[in-house]
Amino acid sequence: MKEKGLKNVKEILPYIVILLIVIGVRTFIATPIKVNGSSMYDTLDGKEFMILNKLGKIERFDIVVVDANNDELIKRVYGLPGEKISIENNSIYINGKKIEDKYANGETSEYETIVLGEDEYFILGDNRPISLDSRTIGPVKKKQIKGTANFIIYPFNRFGILEKRNQK
């Protein structure tokens, strides 16, 4: 009887290990997310499924998922910790230098100059007129950022990595 129980455990052990690996990957490394809304139009249309990467460094122009008052927002990073950000005449300035903003869809409303803290980021949606972003909610803390999202898994005709345009 004891041998039969041990045999059963040996048979299901690989499945338990696989399940633990899947749970570990989803919890600590990557998980699927669904894009809702049109605040990132025309980069994202609000119907995509993407992979959220929970590891790695956050860089300017990365698309991130942010926990803002229990809502998940998908936005683009513009300001990094310690930087001075302002928006004037539909232009974004970082540390006093105007940046080329290839992602903006619509007018970008004015925003007074702020200096980000050591763990703060300034995020904007690509579809500026309707986006709830740092212009409204203020800078977001590093701990609010769940990860970066640059890989579309659905729809299949858009499957693959979203290119991050190098901008200085």
pLDDT in tens, 26-59: 676 778 899 888 999 989 988 899 999 988 899 9
Report CA 12 to chain centroid distance, whole Å.
37
SS3 annotation, 20-34: HHHHHHHHHCEEEEE
Can you name the residues that pair with 124 across neighbouring β-strands?
76
Rounded Cα–Cα distance for residues 149 and 51 (Å): 6
Q: Which helix (H) or strand (E) holds 134?
A: helix 134-137
User: What residue spans define the domains of the chain?
Assistant: 2-154
Judge whether 39 counts as a catalytic residue. Answer: yes
Contacts for 28 with CB less than 8 Å, ≥ 6 apart: 54, 55
For tokens 């803290």, the residue is 117
Tell me: cis bond preceding 42? Omega within 30 of 0 counts: yes
Residue 12 is predicted with a pLDDT of 82
Residue 29 is predicted with a pLDDT of 73
Count Cβ atoms within 10 A of the Cβ of residue 1 and give its class: 0-12 exposed, 13-18 middle, 19 or more buried. exposed
Decide: 141 and 66 in contact? Cβ < 8 Å.
Answer: no
Catalytic residue among 2, 47, 75, 91: 75
Q: Which helix (H) or strand (E) holds 13?
A: helix 2-28
Residue 3 is predicted with a pLDDT of 66
Whether pTM exceeds 0.85:
no
Low-confidence ranges of the chain (pLDDT < 70): 1-7, 25-26, 28, 163-168
Fold assignment, 2-154: Umud Fragment, subunit A (2.10.109)
Catalytic residue among 39, 134, 141, 143: 39
